[in-house]
């Protein structure tokens, strides 16, 4: 169970980091394709924001405490985020790279949940994998 708790905490740190990156890009995007990217980044950060509380609740279901400080999220995350990218396409590419990191963490967390025989958590993680695969497709498609 300790492995699953650790995986969920890393997942939470990665998801919170990705959330702030998507929201920051939503706030700061500019250029000819502003509207398209503003809406896409908004859709992503709103979806990801809705997944944070259930991650915390799954940690609590395992009788541990959910991280909540910025420092803990920084310490646990598996990827870094640089500043605002110069163009909307660069932002989408950077967000896609971060999304790939989140997908790796989601897959590791799914394996940990499956190993721990926690099907409810595995089911939740499976749904998040599906959504992040959708974001990967949309981000890739928007940069062609």
- How do the domains of the chain map onto residue ranges? 2-142
Per-residue pLDDT tens digits for 23-69: 999 999 999 899 999 999 999 999 999 999 999 999 999 999 999 99
- How far is 139 from 44, CA to CA, in rounded Å? 10
Per-residue pLDDT tens digits for 88-134: 999 999 999 999 999 999 999 999 999 999 999 999 999 999 999 99
- How far is 62 from 75, CA to CA, in rounded Å? 21
Fold of 2-142: Ferritin (1.20.1260)
pTM of the model: 0.96
**Alpha helices, DSSP H, located in the chain:** 2-28, 34-61, 70-76, 88-115, 119-142
């Amino acid at each position: 169970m300790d492995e699953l708790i650790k995986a969920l905490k890393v997942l939470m740190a990665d998801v919170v980091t990705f959330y702030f990156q998507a929201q920051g890009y939503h706030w700061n995007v500019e250029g000819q394709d502003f509207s398209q990217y503003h809406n896409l980044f908004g859709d992503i950060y709103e979806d990801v924001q809705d997944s944070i509380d259930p991650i915390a609740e799954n940690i609590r279901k395992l009788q541990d405490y959910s991280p909540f400080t910025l420092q803990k999220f920084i310490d646990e995350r598996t990827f870094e985020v640089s500043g605002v990218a110069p163009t909307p396409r660069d932002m989408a590419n950077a967000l896609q790279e971060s999304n790939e990191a989140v997908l790796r963490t989601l897959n590791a967390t799914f394996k940990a949940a499956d190993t721990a025989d926690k099907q409810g958590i595995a089911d939740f993680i499976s749904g998040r994998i599906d959504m992040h695969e959708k974001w990967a497709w949309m981000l890739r498609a928007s940069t062609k």
